[in-house]
Amino acid sequence: MSAVLHRLWIPPAAPLPWLAATLAAYLIGRAVQRRCGVAYASPVLIAIIVIAAVLVATGTPYATYFAGAWFIHFLLGPATVALAIPLARNLHHVRRSLPGTGLALLAGSATSIVSGVAIVWLLGGTRMVALSMAPKAATTPIAMAVSQEIGGLPALTAAFAILGGIVAAIAGERTLQQMRIDDRRSQGLAAGVAGSGIAAAQVAGRGELAAAFAALGIGFNGLLTALLVPLLALLWW
Amino acid sequence: MVAAMVGLLGCELAGELLRQAFHLPVPGAVVGMFLLAGTLVAVNRKRPPEAMAVPPALRRAADALIGHMGLLFVPAGVGVIAEADLLRQQWLPILAAVLGSTVLGLAVTGLVMSRVTRLVEKRRSAEAPRAVPHASLAGLCRKQARS
């Protein structure tokens, strides 16, 4: 029995256990989300916690796990490219309300980047944390790629991006209501820019216009973050 | 499915090549995303924007990848356990920055969008008062009510 178990960790079978574990953890996360019925019981966060607990309990180094789960990670590239389709499909919304959408995207994207870095700095965080914080409002695959590019820690950025999305999903509606912003386009765009996929999923329940502007916010904030953060990193840090 | 994957991977590869050739600071997959978006817009330029044609296989592959995107960042996300010390030492700046900058980004985006859109729509209705008299009237009333 132990010989059989041992052979599982030798190529070509080596990726199988952690590949299966990652898929299973994600399924658990989705089941929990369905049971709770809220968008911000993030299946990603739950899956990360489950896998992390298993790794700590079994004393498995992260590198061993990642070597197995690498195949899933690899699909982030094509998935990022695939975001082109919702982006292209919603492009005409920008053209129709160009000044507002363009200015709001620029202002929101710059605010997220600069305020994130500034708060880390003011409270005595390290450069590494500030660099990992800078791109966190972008959709997670772009945020991670940008973080890698500028010398941050992609894993940290992924965690920040997911937490930020949950914060935006929970606090977004109330914040905007208190500011008397009741326009669906503004609500959708704000959710997409600040909270990417997680907040967008929540705002999408408020109608197609909100969903379209949320998709727009995700796509263009991804673009702006990918352009602005490396530029700012070159200039400042 | 295979053709769709070739298309997506091809865009990523082209993006990566462009990135390396021109020393772009933007990740290759993001460059690939804009290559694909540009191609889709160029191919569909004679169609109304609502009827954008995307090859069905490509759309299916993209929907599958985007629909389960959450799964794809689990392996990298688990990497935070390697940074447990860092999280323990800097939990305050991290928590404050995630909370603060998310709410700020949300508020600024929503505020700029709603104010500028309202301004532009008011001006548009003022330029064509006969076409939409109600809109300009409503704008005037709102202005008086505020002042």
Q: From first to last of its 237 residues, what are the pLDDT tens digits of chain A?
A: 566 666 666 665 667 889 999 999 999 998 998 888 776 677 888 999 999 999 999 998 998 999 889 899 899 889 888 888 887 887 787 777 778 899 999 999 999 999 999 999 999 999 999 999 999 999 888 898 899 989 999 989 988 998 898 889 888 888 998 999 988 889 999 999 998 777 887 777 777 778 788 888 888 898 899 989 988 888 875
- Nearest by CB to residue B29, choosing from A62, A145, A160, is A145
- Quote the tokens at residue A128: 């590494």
Inter-chain residue contact B70 with A44, CB threshold 8 Å: yes
Q: Which of A54, A56, A80, A132 is the best mutation test for B, with the most CBs of B within 10 A?
A: A80
Q: How far apart are CA A196 and CA A158, in angstroms?
A: 12
pLDDT for res A130? 95
Q: How far apart are CA B117 and CA A107, in angstroms?
A: 14
Strands, E, within A93-191: which ranges?
none
Q: What are phi and psi of B143, to 5 degrees?
A: -65, -45
Angle at A175 between CA A172 and CA A176, to 5 degrees: 85
Inter-chain residue contact A190 with B106, CB threshold 8 Å: yes
Inter-chain residue contact A171 with B102, CB threshold 8 Å: yes
Complex prediction ipTM: 0.82
Inter-chain residue contact A172 with B106, CB threshold 8 Å: yes
- Domain spans of chain B? 1-72, 81-147
Alpha helices in chain B (DSSP H): 2-22, 28-43, 56-67, 69-72, 74-77, 84-89, 91-127, 133-146
Judging contacts by C-beta atoms under 8 Å, the chain B residues touching residue A194 are 102-103, 105-106, 109
Chain A: closest CA distance from residue B80 (Å):
5
Inter-chain residue contact A181 with B110, CB threshold 8 Å: yes
